[in-house]
Structure 1
Amino acid sequence: MPARISDPEQAKVSIFSRVFKQDVTKMAAGNTREPLINGGNSKESYSLRAAILPFLFPALGGLLYGYDIGATSGATICLESPTLSGTTWYNLSSLQIGLVVSGSLYGALLGSTLAFAIADFLGRRRELILSAILYLIGALLTALTPNFLLMVLGRFVYGAGIGLAMHAAPMYIAETSPSQIRGTLISLKEFFIVIGMLFGFISSTVYVDLVSGWRYMYASSAPVSLIMGIGMWWLPPSPRWLLLCTMEGKGNISVTREVVISCLCRLRGCANYDAASMQVDSILQELSNVDTETQATFWEIFQGKCLKALIIGVGLLFFQQVTGQPSVLYYAATILQSAGFSAASDATRVSILLGTLKLATTGIAVVVVDKLGRRPLLIGGVSGIAISLFLLSSYYIVFTQLPVIAVIALLLYVGCYQLSFGPIGWLMISEIFPLRLRGRGLSIAVLVNFASNALVTFAFSPLQVVVGTGILFAGFGVISLISLVFIIFFIPETKGLTLEEIETKVL
């Protein structure tokens, strides 16, 4: 399968050009081909029914990620209980509990690093199959473990599956989806993450009062992992990845071309051979303009088009975490309790309440992302995030007797996050990287995401002691304003464009 690959720069354009708008006339110099963007001619024919399964099975990787977040909150409560743990090693230290909670995060960091090395070799489909296998092994090892060490190992293995899934799923969906609904489908993956969280919270509520209930919580994800693996085995590989392999000399172009056309017809649910053939030719023509016969060096990822894509993708996923998302959710139960909500006495009910709000607002983003575009949702949502963080800060510093301000700020933050950073961050990284370096570039972005999550999670408590909760939330608000400036000046609009059009005209 494909070796390491690169995307040399075609036109020397400053990375600080406003929103990375490309000088099309310079790009077209010496190139007589027709532009890929041509009004409505770039639209693809497809059957909505046929587009469901190529989205659904990869999206289960996101659902399993969300489920782990939701289930672990209840599992730790059960695991520490002398009467409900069902173990002789229930008396866990804070460090041991931290390993249970964060084990999957460490594993995800490992999986993201692993993806950099193997993604282009395995391809999107087989990477997702490997992810499903790791999910299954991790879930069963955690649920059936006889001791603490094997439980932590299971959490690491499950987390490695998360790292691979969150890397490969956006790529597979982006490379197999019709351009008209690509944004909707990739945003739906975030929707599945939230659904997974809700299922995890519900699972916690159902099993938390049972002896060894934590085993049932973790074991419940095993059947979904199996379905994901079987589904990915049944689906065809990414047509774009197959063509890239062939252009690198890994197969016969004529044979591969026919296979890719067959895959496209299957993915689109229509037997329009001519339309599929034209799309294949456009991808091949784009690949023919770059050096596909030599392997890329590591540093070529930080050059030309991929450098611009890296700034966009890494910047979005970095700001997605350092604007305080883990910390705000950490304070959710406390804020609702201070406002007198009876449901706040039960942490799992609070989680379900917030999960429902996240689901509703993510659903709105899914519906409008391919109509309004990526930039309006990001700009509007991040503006709301900044306002909500400053409101939270004012509650802890000035308006301590008005908890309604904190509740409004909390709900505003959750809603705006799910309209912007939540779905759009993952959407942008799946479509912005050039094909030849998409696997490796996206792995760096995902690694930064999980690393930033870990940084915010571990730095929050020490910073809270040093500067206070109010000042800390104000700091997050300032970072949100910086991220808003970054979005305005650096994030392009990709609505309605094919992946080849994005590579040609946006980067």
Structure 2
Amino acid sequence: MAEGGPVKPDKTEFTECWRTSWKTPYIMRLALSAGIGGLLFGYDTGVISGALLYMREDFESIDKNTWLQETIVSMAVAGAIVGAALGGFLSDSLGRKKSILGADIVFFVGAIVMAAAPNPWVIVIGRLLVGLGVGMASMTAPLYISEASPARIRGALVSTNGLLITGGQFMAYVINLAFTKAPGTWRWMLGVAGLPALIQFVLMMSLPESPRWLYSRDKVDEAKSTLEKIYSPEEVEEEMALLKASIESEKADEAAIGETMLTKLKNAFKNPVVRRGLYAGVTVQVAQQFVGINTVMYYSPTIVQFAGFASKSVALSLSLITAGLNAFGSIVSMLFVDRYGRKRLMIISMAGIIFFLIFLSVVFIEASSHAPKVGSIESVLFGANSTCSAYAGATSSAAAGKWSCMTCLKAKCGFCSNKASEVIRNFRSRIIFNICATRLILVFHQV
């Protein structure tokens, strides 16, 4: 735990943050340099959704096997699970700074591996490496910001990490859209991810270690030297005293609950306050993940395509709105979380997410059940008004066997070729509701 009490950012703290950062730019340099870890997290979440559209063009195995698509997407999450656990261990043993530098190296290597991948399984390895880097950064970066920032503006600075996560998602969609016409498309999309990791590595090399970690390792002079760059001279001694008291209290708590991990967990669960806090925290995180919001983020362009917009650039453009509202939602939460309370906003946002995800599912189920099939039997049955005249013309060639949903959508007959049909009119109405629901899901998720 950092010194100075609990982190509770409010509007006055954000004002104070701006004022303090203006007087001492070094503080913002620390926060933004470490916050690039959040940017990497957000970029990795958003970039794969667009890159996947173009991978399916280059690799037939990816296009034909949904399980391979799912493996590519989910492998980063698997790596992040391991990376988060590893990041906690490394940040305690080697220091916050070295842990962030290590995360940058792993992330950079993963980005290069993905960009140069000759086959889908190398992409999977690259995604695993990127996930490891993301997990390490997501664990260590907020910790570094918290420990290297003044107590009076600590909450506001830590909140910027969340804003950079959503900002990274928005940036990923912008870069995806920028490379839609470039040779190599998805390779550039994934490879560019290494650039912010490289920038953070260079910036962090010139920054000090967390003063709290230094003090806990009996490097008192180094800790004081760092604090002198953050605080005014009259505040340094006071902060050193708080640091000493906090470290001693932490060591006393560790001695009371035991040395081994099993003993610590056992004694922690005996404490009713710790137990209730753990239950609440874990339940909120699990609930947030299980509502399926990550499906919308990872597959947003694909969802838009299946809604009837076959063009990749159009799908990415519409997904850009999703990412923009995602970032907007994080700003809304930062502005109102202290005015209306964490619990109230969390309940409202979770209810909104559940409602609109159910609505999104119903829209697709209804569209699927009412849309006529595209196939040789249907094409013969309807004759001139066939469900897909382009498919009917291809039935005599070997290409007909390679048709998929995307092929039909590109031929502008994925759901019904008759523009006067009631089915197509109703479906287009559903598309509008579908996209609106997706946007609202992201706003509620960030609030």
TM-score by length of 1: 0.62
Shift of the 259–337 alpha-carbon distance from structure 1 to 2, 3 Å rule, reads closer
**2:20 counterpart residue number:** 47
Amino acid at match of 1:310: L
Helix, strand or coil at the partner of 1:80: helix
1:264 aligns with 2:230: no
Question: Of 283, 288, 292, which aligns to 1:315?
Answer: 283
Alpha-carbon separation, structure 2, partners of 1:310 and 1:280: 25
TM-score by length of 2: 0.70
Shift of 1:182: 3.0
Gaps of 5+ in 2: 7-12, 371-425
1:224 aligns with 2:223: no
**1:275 counterpart residue number:** 238
Higher helix share: 2
Shift of 1:291: 4.1
Shift of the 70–386 alpha-carbon distance from structure 1 to 2, 3 Å rule, reads closer
8 Å Cα contact 1:79-1:212 kept in structure 2: no
Amino acid at match of 1:47: T
**1:488 counterpart residue number:** none
Larger deviation: 379-388 or 349-358? 379-388
Q: Deviations over 1:253-310 (max 9, x none)?
A: xxx3343233223234666323323322442453364245963333413513654443
8 Å Cα contact 1:335-1:406 kept in structure 2: no
Gaps of 5+ in 1: 1-5, 7-34, 38-42, 246-250, 420-507
Question: Of 139, 150, 159, which aligns to 2:122?
Answer: 150
1:127 aligns with 2:99: yes
The number of equivalent residue pairs is 368
Larger deviation: 279-288 or 50-59? 279-288
8 Å Cα contact 1:127-1:168 kept in structure 2: yes
Question: Of 178, 181, 206, which aligns to 2:153?
Answer: 181
Alpha-carbon separation, structure 2, partners of 1:94 and 1:342: 18
Q: Which has the higher contact order (CA 8 A, sep 6+)?
A: 1
Q: Deviations over 1:412-437 (max 9, x none)?
A: 32111111xxxxxxxxxxxxxxxxxx
**2:113 counterpart residue number:** 141
Question: Of 160, 165, 177, which aligns to 1:193?
Answer: 165
**2:73 counterpart residue number:** 101
Shift of the 151–52 alpha-carbon distance from structure 1 to 2, 3 Å rule, reads same
Amino acid at match of 1:297: M
Shift of 1:189: 1.6
Alpha-carbon separation, structure 2, partners of 1:306 and 1:237: 29
Amino acid at match of 1:80: R
Alpha-carbon separation, structure 1, partners of 2:192 and 2:262: 40
Please give the root-mean-square deviation of Cα atoms over the aligned residues, in Å. Answer: 3.8
8 Å Cα contact 2:305-2:315 kept in structure 1: no
1:326 aligns with 2:308: no
8 Å Cα contact 2:97-2:204 kept in structure 1: yes
8 Å Cα contact 2:45-2:298 kept in structure 1: no
Shift of the 210–189 alpha-carbon distance from structure 1 to 2, 3 Å rule, reads same
8 Å Cα contact 1:389-1:413 kept in structure 2: yes
Alpha-carbon separation, structure 2, partners of 1:164 and 1:300: 23
Alpha-carbon separation, structure 1, partners of 2:64 and 2:232: 53
8 Å Cα contact 1:50-1:267 kept in structure 2: yes
Alpha-carbon separation, structure 1, partners of 2:120 and 2:164: 30
| Aligned pairs for 1:62-73 within 5 A | 62-73=38-49
8 Å Cα contact 1:201-1:351 kept in structure 2: yes
Amino acid at match of 1:244: S
**1:237 counterpart residue number:** 209
Shift of the 123–334 alpha-carbon distance from structure 1 to 2, 3 Å rule, reads closer
Alpha-carbon separation, structure 1, partners of 2:122 and 2:137: 23
Helix, strand or coil at the partner of 1:47: helix
